[in-house]
Structure 1
Amino acid sequence: MSAPVPGKETAGRPGNHKRVLRTVIIISTFGGLLFGYDTGVINGALPYMQEDLGLTPLTEGLVTSSLLFGAAFGALFGGRLADRNGRRKMIMVLAVLFLAGTLACTFSPNTEVMIAARFVLGLAVGGASVTVPVYLAEVSPSDRRGRIVTQNELMIVTGQLLAFVFNAYLGNSFGEPHGIWRWMLVIATLPAIALWIGTNFMPESPRWLASSGSFGETLSVLQRIRSQAEARKEFEEVKAMAVEDYKSKMGSWKDLGIPWLRRIFFAGLGLAVIQQITGVNSIMYYGTQILAQSGFGREAALTANIANGVISVLATFVGIWLLGKVGRRRMLLTGQVGTTTALLLIGLFSLILPEGTARGFVILALTVTFLAFQQGAISPVTWLMLSEIFPLKIRGLGMGASAFLLWIVNFLIGFGFPQLLAAIGISNTFFVFAVLGVAAIAFAAKYVPETKDKSLEDLEHHFKNVAGNAPQAAGATVP
């Protein structure tokens, strides 16, 4: 049975399809908002958990990174489940997981339960990281797809900003009583409930319906999110592509025996890795502690950390605008150079400036600069390029493997950062990230192609030539 569709009874009115599409985008990106809030809230909650749960650097890393470990598996299996059961149904399941995971974290009596609950929450975060962008891409008009898909990135950083604001308010207003971190966590139940309710009124992806052979429902959904003329035209295209899309799911590891497909697959994996080894999530997860160690008090650090959230949101707006103006590769390289420079300066000033408020403000200015380059260039480009770079034949394989690896690297950074901080100090820790940043620049310069305004055939030609095996691969075309 088809899901209720917003605006169904007035779908025929001129211009109504735009309102329906906007509503669908807002509801589905609540998954991104939850992604952002649940990854960002630990930033301010962790200092209070240390006292209540008696965390050590090891258990602190486990509490933070267990969500990321769960996200790796949520991303790996979430896409396959969405292919099998539908995008809309998968988002509903994720809303329930978000709610259950949040409540389990909120009422955790000890560290062991907290780690397990954070793992469950991670499954929802990882599933949302792959399902929501795919759903947005499949309901978006082709000429607005890039901008609409990157709105999910905007909601992620908005969720992180909200987490930082609520953390600062609760920490400064009620920071002394034990258990204030539980109130920081439980707030996430509200958008989880809103997502579940809203999803009941969302249509299924028209492309998924077509791939399942439900062409009548495909046309019905398109007529609600497009003008009548656009719906008819797109329906014919989607219907014609249905068989081809079905065949594209048949891609397997054996296809990586073709040199140019193997090269593009590893370029995608590399994109996932270099987005994370900048150390961005050391700031998003541990920013309050970094600022506290730099010279701010605990409550002052909570407030100062809001600046990191604000710049992330503003930079993402700029990044969305730049995507239509500047090449993806150029944006990526500029972002990598900017973040690496900021990391180097954080390490340098942490070393030479005496501890105090002045050093705290210098480090804050540099973390803000870092996030301007990361969220304004690297992050929006990474997910968009991953959605563009893989040919149809290995798109599911490539996206699943890339998202899994991205979350695993995220997990390793989240787990290792507090232990690095305790072992070698803040300056040397950021010098390590700066060295990794140099490696990321070298990889991007050598292996990442430009995808803006390029067709699939252009990319195939590029990778075949670089692989140096065009004659042998000539017969191995992508469906």
Structure 2
Amino acid sequence: MAGFIHEMRTSGNGLLVRISIIAAIGGLLFGYDTGVISGALLYIKGDLHANSSAQEWIVSVLLLGAIVGAAISAFSADIFSRKWTKVVSGCVYVIAALGCAFSVSVPMLIGFRFLLGISVGTASFVSPLYISEVAPPKARGGLVSFNQLAVTTGILLSYIVNFLFKDVPGDWRWMLGIAALPGAALAIGMLTVPHTPRWLVQHSRKDEAKGVLERLRDSDPKADIPGELKGIEEENKREGDSRIRDVFRKSLRPLVLVGLALAFFQQFVGVNTVIYYAPTILTDTGLTKSSSVTQTVFVGVTNVVFTIVAVLLLDRIGRRKLLLIGTVGLTIALALLGVYFTSPWLQHHAGFLALGGLLLYIASFAIGLGPVFWLMISEIYPIGVRSKSMAVSTMVNWGANFIVAGTFLTLSSAITRQGTFFVYTGIAVVAFLFFLWKVPEARGRSLEQIQQDLGVSKT
């Protein structure tokens, strides 16, 4: 930890850390609402008479909204800036969170969850985009991973809130409504931060970009402000104005393949079956609703602890190694959960294995696919198409999330709970082989150098 803090202090200053934390509140919103529904759903289904299909829609409609939010913000982040896109996102989040809390029917709740998803989808990619564009190369991995740390912190907070309100009248309404507080913090906090240097250069505001860089690097004696600014300008000139279709041009296909594969595999290894349905999975082991919500807090704590480990290690040992190690771990955990639900003897005599499998899974995800996906899509794309490329990857990620979250209960009924975990195990094996073959290392390189180092042509 001391080494990481030293790196940040010599690479930037208090402003750099402060604005990274504020920007990462977007990740907190993302995490809170993906986690809070897991406990709230146990009470919503009785209060609003929601059947299995309605429950799946309550969970997954947020993800449809997130796809729309990512698509909208692909343009707003370039036109209106990363900063103002996040301010508006925070305001929308406050309105939607309060709407969810006061919902009196399943359709009303689904509608506000969709609106909430638009805000979450926006924040999920603009947050790492913003941080990556203000961070120096030496500390970029750790700073961008503030966003993933905020995501896992949001999930943990949601589990704690679920625990605190599980026996309070109107329990699920409190669980959903409290989300308005971090939404307001994001909107207000983003009003106090500068635009990113890269966005300013894109909009011919070079002097302002230079001023922002000077403020962000003023405690780094090795900072090369003119060189960094020149690199941004040159990359911007090479790319010029971009459109969505430019993301798929031949010269960028290797990068797009990596980004989309990371987006796909991050969800299809089943992470959000753990996040959304952990209490449901635990109740299948014989625990009561109250005990399941309580044990889910351990999942949240593990998620945060191992995300901190990832933050400390990403700029030390690299993205690729952590990705591979984490994927091996979650593959083992998925196989363990499959075996557990296959064996009545284990379910009767070794109930702790279910919680153990969930903890191993979430720890492995937290050091690998969790932070590495969001970090790498903020690193590998050229500046002219970065926001649109990240938006496409984010949309695929949310789309995959929607499919997984919207089919878990149905799939479990069709092929059994253990069959579902074995399917995820097979996908995880394929993911590991792809990562081993295709995913490059981006540690310690500037955003512009990464394009050269990966051999991406400029045509």
Q: Normalising to structure 1: TM-score of the pair? A: 0.86
Tell me the CA shift for residue 216 of structure 1.
3.4
Shift of 1:238: 1.9
Residue in 2 that maps onto 1:275: 266
Q: Distance in 1 between matches of 2:214 and 2:453?
A: 37
| Aligned sequence identity (%) | 35
Q: Does the CA contact (< 8 Å) of 1:392 and 1:478 recur in 2?
A: no
In the comparison of the two structures, how many residue pairs are matched?
A: 448
Question: Could you tell me which residue of structure 1 aligns to residue 22 of structure 2?
Answer: 27
CA contact (8 A) 1:99 1:189 kept: yes
Q: Take 2:287 and 2:74, find their aligned partners in 1: how far apart are those partners?
A: 42
SS for the counterpart of 1:121 is helix
Seen in structure 2, the aligned counterparts of structure 1 residues 136 and 231 have a Cα distance that, compared at 3 Å, is farther
Letter in 1 for 2:407: G
Larger Rg: 1
> Equivalents in 1 of 2:449, 2:348: separation in Å?
55
1:88 to 62, 83, 92: 83
Distance (Å, rounded) in 2 between the aligned partners of 1:135 and 1:451: 18
Of 413-422 and 322-331, more deviation after overlay is shown by 322-331
For structure 1, the residue ranges without an aligned partner over 5 or more in a row are: 1-13, 465-476
Question: Among 178, 198, 201, which residue is 1:187 paired with?
Answer: 178
Q: Does 1:121 align with 2:112?
A: no
Measured at CA, do residues 75 and 434 of structure 1 come closer, stay the same or move farther in structure 2, by a change above 3 Å? same
Change (3 A) 1:183 1:254: closer
Aligned to 1:428: 419
- Residue in structure 2 matched with residue 307 of structure 1 by the alignment: 298
- CA 1:68–1:229: 2 relative to 1, 3 Å: closer
User: CA shift at 1:221, angstroms?
Assistant: 3.0
- The 2-side partners of 1:232 and 1:50 are apart by 56
Amino acid at match of 2:306: A
Query: Which residue does 1:212 correspond to in 2?
Result: 203
Shift of the 165–398 alpha-carbon distance from structure 1 to 2, 3 Å rule, reads same
**In the alignment, what sits opposite 1:264?**
255
1:78 aligned to which of 73, 79, 85? 73
Structure 2 runs not aligned, ≥5 long: 1-8
**How far did residue 235 of structure 1 move?**
5.2
Report the alpha carbon displacement of residue 447 of structure 1 after superposing the two structures with TM. 2.6
Q: For residue 440 of structure 2, give the secondary structure of its aligned residue in structure 1.
A: coil
CA distance, structure 2, for counterparts of residue 255 and residue 98 of structure 1: 29
Matches of 2:154 and 2:402, distance apart in 1: 20
Worse-superposed segment, 439-448 or 359-368:
439-448
1:118–1:255: structure 2 CA closer, same or farther, 3 Å change rule?
A: closer
Q: Are the structure 2 counterparts of residues 139 and 459 from structure 1 closer, same or farther at C-alpha, using a change threshold of 3 Å?
A: closer
Match among 154, 158, 163 for residue 158 of structure 2: 163
Q: Partner letter of residue 59 of structure 1?
A: A
Q: CA deviation at 1:122?
A: 0.7
36-45 or 317-326, which deviates more: 317-326
Q: Distance in 2 between matches of 1:283 and 1:432?
A: 15
| 1:223/1:231 contact within 8 Å kept | no
In structure 1, give the amino acid aligned to 2:270: G
In the aligned structure 2, how far is the partner of 1:87 from the partner of 1:433? 35
Q: Which moved more, 1:455-464 or 1:367-376?
A: 455-464
Report the CA distance shift for 1:128/1:230 in structure 2 as closer, same or farther (over 3 A). farther
Question: Could you say which residue in structure 2 is the equivalent of 1:468?
Answer: none
- Secondary structure at 2:378's aligned position in 1? helix
Question: What is the rounded CA distance, in whole Å, between the counterparts of 1:392 and 1:191 in structure 2?
Answer: 30
Quote how far apart the aligned CAs of 1:355 are: 8.1
Q: Which residue of 2 aligns with 1:295?
A: 286
Q: Distance in 2 between matches of 1:166 and 1:458?
A: 41
- Could you tell me how far apart the structure 1 residues matched to 2:185 and 2:377 are? 29
**Native 8 Å contact 1:385 1:451 kept in 2:** yes
Aligned: 1:64 with 2:59: yes
Q: Report the equivalent of 1:379.
A: 370
Matched, 1:151 2:142: no
Deviations 1:222-266 (A, max 9, x none): 3433318869942563256336325525345367453x5323322
- Contact 1:296 1:356 survives alignment (8 Å): no
Q: Which residue does 1:8 correspond to in 2?
A: none
Of 123, 133, 140, the residue aligned with 1:138 is: 133
Supply the distance in 1 between the matched residues of 2:324 and 2:368 (Cα, whole angstroms). Answer: 9
CA RMSD of aligned residues (A): 2.6
> Under a length normalisation based on structure 2, what TM-score does the superposition of the two structures give?
0.90
The 5-angstrom pairing of residues 298-337 of structure 1 reads: 298-337=289-328
Q: Which residue, out of 232, 235, 243, partners 1:244?
A: 235
Q: Which moved more, 1:200-209 or 1:354-363?
A: 354-363
Which among 326, 348, 354 is matched to residue 363 of structure 1? 354
Q: Which residue of 1 aligns with 2:107?
A: 112
415, 438, 441: which one pairs with 1:450?
441
Could you tell me how far apart the structure 1 residues matched to 2:298 and 2:203 are?
Answer: 46
Please report how far the alpha carbon of residue 188 of structure 1 lies from its aligned counterpart in structure 2 after TM superposition: 0.8
Task: Look up the equivalent residue of 2:171 and give its one-letter code.
Answer: I
Partners of 2:125 and 2:384 in 1: CA distance:
18
Task: State the Cα deviation string for residues 17-67 of structure 1 (Å, max 9, x = none).
Answer: 823333222222211111111111001000101101111221111110111
Say which of 321, 338, 341 aligns to 2:329.
Answer: 338
1:219 and 1:232 in contact (8 A); partners too: no
Cα deviation for residue 303 of structure 1 reads 0.4
Change (3 A) 1:53 1:357: farther
Indicate if the aligned counterparts of 1:264 and 1:463 stay in contact, CA closer than 8 A: no
Letter in 2 for 1:478: K
Q: Give how far 1:273 is off.
A: 0.7
Within-5 A mapping of 1:459-478: 477-478=457-458
* 1:405 CA displacement: 0.5
User: Retained in 1: the 8 A contact 2:315–2:444?
Assistant: no
> Which SS does the other structure have where 1:366 is aligned?
helix
Q: Is the 8 A contact 1:68 1:410 kept in 2?
A: yes
Q: Would you say the 8 A contact 2:198–2:232 is kept in 1?
A: no
- Range that drifts further, 371-380 or 452-461: 452-461
Checking the alignment, whether the CA contact within 8 Å between 2:61 and 2:114 is kept in structure 1 is yes
| Cα drift, residue 69 of structure 1 | 1.2
Paired letter, 1:49:
I
Identify if the C-alpha distance between structure 1 residues 57 and 246 changes in structure 2 by more than 3 Å, giving closer, same or farther: farther
Q: Distance in 2 between matches of 1:212 and 1:230?
A: 28
State the partner residue of 2:275. Answer: 284
